[in-house]
Every structure is written in structure tokens, then in C-alpha cells.
Structure 1
Amino acid sequence: MTNKEFTESIYPCQFSIKVIGENTEKLEKIVVEVMSSFGEVIHPDEIAKKLSKNEKYLSITFEIVARSREYIEQIYSELNAQKEVKMVL
């Protein structure tokens, strides 16, 4: 089995995404809207939120079913394109 075949064989799988941005009410809404554009429904009870020490930044963590590496890369790209988002992990 080649490395590419091995990598492709792990999908679909559960995958955590963490979005970090400024602590605004708008950030969670943007994340939900972007994920919705990919057909992902993120319920509020499935989102873990954490404020930075000085409460300037907010991290939002949630899980999706990743269909492929390309799918994950598309999601990262779209989230990073949002001006409210500082980083996606």
C-alpha cells in the first residue's frame, strides 16, 4: 500500500477543527454559516468555546466527518478567508 492509498483509506473519519478569532458574537455565526455552505450542520451543543486569558480572543472547536483531505483543505481555506478568523487548526 502506498502512502497516498493509506491516506485515502482513513476517510471518512471524525475530524476536529478549531477556529480562533477575536471575541465577538459574530465569530460563531460566521463559523456556522461557512460550515453550512459545506453541508455541515453544527449544533450549538456540539461547539466548545474558550476565551483567551485576557478575553480578547475566542476559540471555537467542533467535529465534522471529513470526507477527504481535499475537503478539509477547502474548509480551512474558506474559514481562513473570513476577516474575523485569525487562525484555523
Structure 2
Amino acid sequence: MTELEHDTPFEFPCQFPIKAMGKNIPNIEAIVFEIVQRHVDDLSESAVKTRESKGGKYISVTVTVEAQSKAQLDAVYMDLTACTDILITM
């Protein structure tokens, strides 16, 4: 375990839900999946859950992954926040 791994309450590997929210555009689920897949081996489409906002203008996409390290999660979140179609990550 690296020193950076001590800066997190998680024990790796662990199941970790990655959530991204954006405008409800036709391909937002595929965009989020592709970004997360860059960093996670053997990611299944069944790991993806979506939920529309009450008015349908926005959508949240949650991808549950087997996280291996804090560095891996940091890389996922950096790529997600760099995407102009994604408004918020959690």
C-alpha cells in the first residue's frame, strides 16, 4: 500500500459506485461507460444504472466498479470532470 492509499477510508480492492450527472442527451450513458472503462478492466454494462431527474432534463449515471486503488479512482474522476457533457461527479 502506498502512502497515498493511507489518505482514504477505503480498503482496496472494494466495490465503489462512481456517479456522473449530465444533461439527458441520447448517448450520456455510453459516454460515462467509455470513460470509466478506460480505467477498469472487465467492466460490465450491467454495472451501469441510470436515473432521470424529475423533469427529465438531467440524468445520473452510476457505474459500480471493483476499485483497485485511490489512484485509479482519481484518474476516473479526472477524466469524467474533463468531459464537457458531464456536469457533476460524485
- The one-letter code of the counterpart of 2:31 is I
Change in Cα spacing, 1:66 to 1:28, as seen in structure 2 (3 Å) is: same
Change in Cα spacing, 1:10 to 1:39, as seen in structure 2 (3 Å) is: closer
- Residues matched between the structures, number: 85
Q: How much has 1:42 moved relative to structure 2?
A: 3.3
Task: Give the number of the structure whose alpha-carbon radius of gyration is greater.
Answer: 1
Q: Match of 1:72?
A: 73
- Verify the 8 A CA contact 1:28 1:60 in the aligned structure 2: yes
Separation of aligned partners in 2, 1:9 and 1:23: 31
TM-score normalised to structure 2 length: 0.82
Tell me which protein shows more helix as a share of its residues. 1
Q: Match of 2:30?
A: 29
Any gaps of 5 or more consecutive residues in structure 1?
A: none
Q: How much has 1:82 moved relative to structure 2?
A: 0.5
- TM-align CA RMSD: 2.2
Change in Cα spacing, 1:12 to 1:58, as seen in structure 2 (3 Å) is: same
Separation of aligned partners in 2, 1:71 and 1:28: 20
Q: How much has 1:59 moved relative to structure 2?
A: 0.3
Deviating beyond 4 angstroms after TM superposition, the runs of 4 or more aligned structure 1 residues are 6-9
